[in-house]
Chain A
Amino acid sequence: MDNKDMYREHIIDSYKHPHNFGNLPHPTHACREFNPFCGDDITMQLVVKEGIIEKVTFNGKGCALSVAAASMLTDKIKGMNVEDIKKMSKEDILELLKIPIGPVRLKCALLSLETLHKALER
């Protein structure tokens, strides 16, 4: 597999201009996670009302893959049911990103989902 496939334009665009990037003043749920391999550092903040995601933001530092994934994931989960989010898996992220990812960089792509799941457990 060529890494170039990972860096298609939509990924780089998402990385350069991420959606939902920033802080929420009064999150009901939040979690910060690291990927020690890359040094990626992502914080997810959520406002959950009656089991539904009302607001979500993320911030931190990461590679193109982790930021693009976080951007797309936060877009997707707005208005979603918490129980459905808990069921989301690797396949859902790959579907969002629409690129092939090797095993090493998979960690980057999945960091935001892991962070989200941990935030919702709290």
Chain B
Amino acid sequence: MNKADFPILQHVVYLDNAATTQKPKKVIDAIAHFYETSNANAHRGVYQLSMKASQLYDDARKTVADFIHADADEIIFTRNATESINLVAAAVFPLLKGKEIVLTVMEHHSNLIPWQQFAKKNGFTLQFIQMKPDFTLDYQDAEKKINDKTALVAFCQVSNALGTINDAEKIIALAKKHHALTLIDAAQSAPHMIVDVKKLDCDFLAFSGHKMLGPMGIGVLYGKKELLEKMQPYQFGGDMIKSVSLEHAEWNDLPMKFEAGTVNVADAVGLAEAIKYLEHIGMDVIEKKEKELLQYALQELKKIKTLKIYHAEKSSGIISFTMEKVHPHDIASLLDDERICIRAGHHCAMPLMHILGVPATARISFYIYNTREDVDMLVKALLHVEAMFHG
């Protein structure tokens, strides 16, 4: 792996990987290659081209399934993590026992608002696992919030705003004790660490292709087969049926039951290529390399005295910070002049910003192609901003 694999990185220092990642040439080429050589509607034609497209789509599903240690028919392709979570929120109701949904205060809006709507519609209440001052979840609070009233626990494995790695095993064990279902928002974990759904034993898991070198427009929902089988589809139309009369329809088998309409073969192919790229490096190597870079960045950023860093001990490659008396947006605008891309804002986690007591933070987030030189350039640019506002 090197930066030269990523055409766009020749022009910028890209430190907003929690928002979306850049794409290697191989992924871009795989998508173009599909359109040039294999484009047809999957599962619909008996001609060779359509069979080729179907095969590529099925292969992509298998690649994704292997990546998280699932079976292929437990993998549903969606547009993104948000859609995956919405699918669960739309279809899970008949499986639930209990009247409470437990979330954490550090959820991305996409794992909060679907449940707010769900609760309103179905007369449920939401409970939130609180955060401790060290930016980790309060697991004592989790033990209180997860109880016999709990129907489902939905939580992020890694917080996109803080980088905190949550103890998924612990939360799932608590949920199981009370026969509650579990959904992991893996949008920030699947790209950066080994995620094994068998080992985790979660019921659902959601992530996005574009945050792991894949294209925009393809996401994944994993669900345990016995649960998905009991759930009703939430969108209706072509491909998701087995037989149709004018009055009735019989649903297709998994996973097609949940993939109504023409599927996104090109981006599934692109995602599979991205996963191959990641696996070629090794998820364990990626995790280790990111951890090293994170430590280096923390050490360097701590030298800037006006920075306040919101960071948990056990954390993924994300650092949220504020600079005394400088709005995060001003920081990001000024860094942009040095061709350094960082995020500033509430990171789709407004309730969390409220708890932190700030309207916004600046955030850097790493991926496989980031280097110590990137960090050095960042620090230099931040010192420049500091001089401008504090000088």
| A interface with B by C-beta (< 8 Å) | 2-4, 6-7, 12, 15-16, 36-41, 61-65, 105, 108
Contact = CB atoms under 8 A, between A and B. Distances in A.
23 contacts: A2-B337, A3-B334, A6-B333, A7-B330, A7-B333, A7-B334, A15-B389, A16-B325, A37-B345, A38-B329, A38-B345, A38-B359, A38-B360, A39-B328, A39-B345, A39-B346, A39-B358, A40-B359, A41-B359, A61-B327, A63-B327, A63-B328, A108-B329
Interface string B322-336: 000111111001101
Contacts of A3: 333-334, 336-337
A63 B330 contact: yes
Interface centre among A38, A62, A105 (most CB of B within 10 A): A38
Contacts of B285: none
A96 B19 CA distance: 35
A105 B138 CA distance: 37
A105 B329 CA distance: 9
B334 A4 contact: yes
A7 B388 contact: yes
Contacts of A7: 330, 333-334, 388
B388 A12 contact: yes
Interface residues on chain B, size class: 10 to 19
B318 to A, nearest CB: 18
B353 interface: yes
Contacts of B353: 39
Given A3-B336, A3-B337, A39 B330 contact: no
Contacts of B329: 38, 63, 105, 108
Contact of B389 (A2, A16, A38, A65): A16
A40 B329 CA distance: 10
B271 to A, nearest CB: 29
Given A6-B333, A7-B333, A63-B327, 12 more contacts: A4-B334, A4-B337, A16-B389, A36-B346, A38-B327, A61-B327, A62-B327, A63-B330, A64-B327, A64-B330, A65-B330, A108-B329
B327 A12 contact: no
A4 B329 CA distance: 13
A38 B329 CA distance: 7
A108 B360 CA distance: 14
Contacts of B358: 39
A41 B360 CA distance: 11
Contacts of B345: 37-39
Contacts of A41: 359
Contacts of A64: 326-327, 330, 389
A3 B344 CA distance: 15
B359 A12 contact: no
Contacts of A36: 346
A40 B353 CA distance: 12
B360 to A, nearest CB: 4
Nearest to A40: B359
A14 to B, nearest CB: 12
A33 B329 CA distance: 17
A63 B328 CA distance: 7
A68 to B, nearest CB: 11
A105 B333 CA distance: 9
Interface in B305-344: 325-330, 333-334, 336-337, 344
Contacts of A15: 389
A16 B151 CA distance: 51
Contacts of B328: 39, 63
